[in-house]
Every structure is written in structure tokens, then in C-alpha cells.
Amino acid sequence: VKPHIIPDVCKDVADAGGDAVVISIAAGVSLETLESNLPGRRVIRVMPNTPCLVGEAATGFALGSLANDSDREVALTIFGSIGVAHEIKEVLLNAVTGLSGSGPAYVFQFIEALSDGGVRSGLPRSG
């Protein structure tokens, strides 16, 4: 979800009713923004990373002001199923997002470049 459409998405979520915790993976959208657009709802802000595709994610999450211990356990269970999950202070979430979100991509590019260099030097790509 792009940040500029958060108010519309939150309206749809709020209109859906229910008591479920809302878990947001919208990058750069603060708990304050989410909570102001979802009054009275429990909110968790999360940023998983691409290694989740192979079960090796490092996910940071921050609880909103109304979230409770049960919500924390939900986040730990969901995001623990794709790697490791840690509750952190929201003030750190943007830094974690930049590091854990972009870091693996840079490492992948580095490994890919090493592999390409080996192939150019005569090594087979496989086997």
C-alpha cells in the first residue's frame, strides 16, 4: 500500500468492523498516522524483508498504543513463521527498514557480481 492512499485503505478497514488487530506493512507510515485513521483500533506496524521468501526474514515490529500482549504474540507468531521477529521501538523502525530491507538486496547483488566474475573467468555457472 502506497502511503498516499493510507487514509482510503484505513477507511475500508475501519468500515469492515470487527475487533481484529490491524497489521500494517506500509513503509514509512507511522503508528500515529495509522491510529488517527483507525480510531479505537489496535495497530501494529511491521516491516518484513525479502529473505522472508526463503524463511529467513528479520522482521521488526512496533505496537500501537492500544495493542496488547495478545497482539504482540500474534505478530511474533506470524512473522516468526518466516524468520525471526523482534519488537522494537517505533523510532527505530525506519532505520531497521532501511538496513534489513535494503541490506539483503545489496548482499545479493554482491554475490551475483562475484558469480558473474567467476563465469567470465571460465568457471561454469553450475556444477
Domain that holds residue 41: 3-120
CA distance 65 to 59: 20
The answer to whether residue 126 is domain-embedded is no
Q: pTM above 0.75?
A: yes
Range with the poorest average pLDDT among 1-10, 57-66, 69-78: 1-10
Residue 74 CB contacts under 8 Å (≥ 6 apart), including other chains: 21, 23, 44
CA distance 112 to 62: 33
pLDDT of residue 68: 98
Mean pLDDT of 45-61: 90
Structure-block grid coordinates of residue 91: 523510532
Mean pLDDT of 57-65: 95
Whether the predicted pLDDT of 7 surpasses 80: yes
Q: How many domains does the structure of the chain reveal?
A: 1
pLDDT in tens, 86-98: 999 999 998 888 8
- SS3 of 34-62: the string is HHHHCCCCCEEEEECCHHHHHCCEEEEEE
The answer to whether residue 84 is domain-embedded is yes
Q: What is the CATH number of the domain that holds 14?
A: 3.40.50.720
The answer to whether residue 125 is domain-embedded is no
The answer to whether residue 127 is domain-embedded is no
